[in-house]
Amino acid sequence: MSPIIGIDLGTTYSCIAYLNGNKPEVIPNLDGHLVTPSAVSFTADGQILVGNVAQRQAVANPERTVTAVKRLIGRKFDSPEVEEAKKRVPYRLVPASNGDVMIAIDNQIISPQEISSLILSYLKACAEAYLGERINEAVITVPAHFNDHQRQATKDAAYIAGLEVLRVINEPTAASLAFGLEANKNCTVAVFDMGGGTFDITILEIQDGIFHVLSTNGDTYLGGEDFDNRIVAWLLDEFKKESGLDLSADKFSLQRIREAAERAKRELSFVLETEINLPFIAIDETGSKHIFKKLSRAKLEDLTRDLIWKTIPLIEQALADARLSPKNIDEVILVGGQTRMPYLRQVIAEFFNQEPRTGIDPDLIVAMGAAVQSGIIKGQITDLALLLDVTPFSLGIETENDGYQVIIEKNTTIPTRKTMAFTTVEHNQVRVRIHVLEGENPLASQNKSLGWFDLIGLEPAPAGVPQIDVTFEIDADGLLRVSAREAATGREQSMEIHYAAGLSRGEVAALKERHRPFALPGKK
């Protein structure tokens, strides 16, 4: 039986693990590192580079190196998150004909799914090289706040890479699974996950080997990169004061400064002071300019304190949604590299009035949890039988006068299936539009549109008489299927949502066909 790999496809770094016996073990990449930068670079001579090698040459090739594509996957070109990305990334973003965001590399237009598939294909090749076996199946993790489009787009990326996704699970849930292997007791857990790009807080209840997510909350635009940006802004400011030169529009220098800033930030989790040395960062008529700057841990804390404190109201909301207070939390688990920052740990420890668990490496824990989930699927692990998750947003349909009828409430345990009866508003109406929405606002127009379909051929009848049963079904991966049925005739019409986003099935199949997998070392 070939192994199933667990994949943490992160914003900045990705990680793979498998189950060795019944213990999760992280698989090193082809460079021997346990985590792989989620970076893809297209060289001028047509090569595609992934991971460390892509990240290393990002400085020389910033416009053709795609990083943090997870911010873009399943999103619209004009969404606020993509607006924010446009300001930050050195590569070019363009709209697809359906409004999705795409990446332009020279004359090539590439979907975020394809970029992610290249990362996944590389990780698959790493696992195959390490285990000496073909890998066809995976459990893949996504942030708890990923909506239906983002989950589907992630699955599409895996499919293009030649991986069948057996299960999509939330990252904090995976972390708890990894942790649960060691903690065989009943407790309530808060998972604080701050990686490179996103922040999630999840409240879970673990009872007799069953993980039940009580609530999730977070900020899809709060992560380690924001900390890096604060250091970058400080360095630019200091450099401008000293040299009079503004490097903020110089993409090449900025990339170097960003890398140095991130390195300094990591070091300051272990030392109290570090130096940032960037020789020959600029040149003017007086000669070469350099950045030689000392940065202390205290200064870093000053620069980033508000970012850490921004998480507190989000945690309070998650606790309120779970009808709990900090004192009800038995364990706090930290996930994501940014949680290594001592001040962050201190703030979280004070909030929960307990030391967070740090026993498992915060960069590896999610992939390890995904590997545990693969063991549950294969029947290798039997003491953790079930995994329950919740919907991060309410889901419903548009009704009369911009109304919104929620069908599945936020924080409902999935998988779930709910049916609600609707009727017509006009006499002899032969068609109704089912407009599927996601969000919490009572006005339909203020929520996110997930798609729509028309139920046609209704029996002519006075307004309010026909009964149309609308069923929302969310599977274990968090993917939504909506169907409508006219009760009077009993005629069931199975309907597909025509998503206004994402790649079509045909496009995904064509990309899989074209996809060039990474050759295993030593194999032709």
Residues that bind ligand AMP (CB under 6 A): 10-13, 35, 195-196, 224-225, 262, 265-266, 269, 336-338, 340-341, 363
CB of 32 to ligand AMP, least distance (A): 17
Q: Write the DSSP symbol of residue 498.
A: B
Using alpha carbons only, what angle is made at residue 424 by residues 423 and 427, rounded to the nearest 5 degrees? 140
Closer CB to ligand AMP, 254 or 406, in the complex = 254
The reply to whether 70 belongs to the active site is yes
236, 293, 497 from 286: Cα distances, Å: 19, 20, 63
- Dist CA 452 CA 444 (whole Å): 13
Of the candidates 38, 216, 54, 174, the one whose C-alpha atom is nearest the C-alpha of residue 112 is 38
CB within 8 Å of 487: residues ≥ 6 apart: 421, 466, 467, 468, 469
Q: Which of 100, 148, 171, 363 is the catalytic position?
A: 171
CB of 345 to ligand AMP, least distance (A): 10
Q: Which of 70, 76, 124, 155 is the catalytic position?
A: 70
CB of 39 to ligand AMP, least distance (A): 12
The reply to whether 440 belongs to the active site is no
- Dist CA 145 CA 148 (whole Å): 10
Q: Which of 100, 128, 148, 193 is the catalytic position?
A: 193
100, 169, 484, 524 from 391: Cα distances, Å: 23, 12, 21, 44
CB of 372 to ligand AMP, least distance (A): 18
The reply to whether 171 belongs to the active site is yes
CB of 300 to ligand AMP, least distance (A): 9
Closer CB to ligand AMP, 229 or 243, in the complex = 229
The reply to whether 193 belongs to the active site is yes
Residue 462 corresponds to which tokens in the numbers above? 């006075």
At 99, phi and psi to the nearest 5?
Answer: 90, -5
- Dist CA 154 CA 142 (whole Å): 8
Closer CB to ligand AMP, 171 or 398, in the complex = 171
- Dist CA 349 CA 370 (whole Å): 26
Q: Give catalytic residue positions.
A: 8, 70, 171, 193
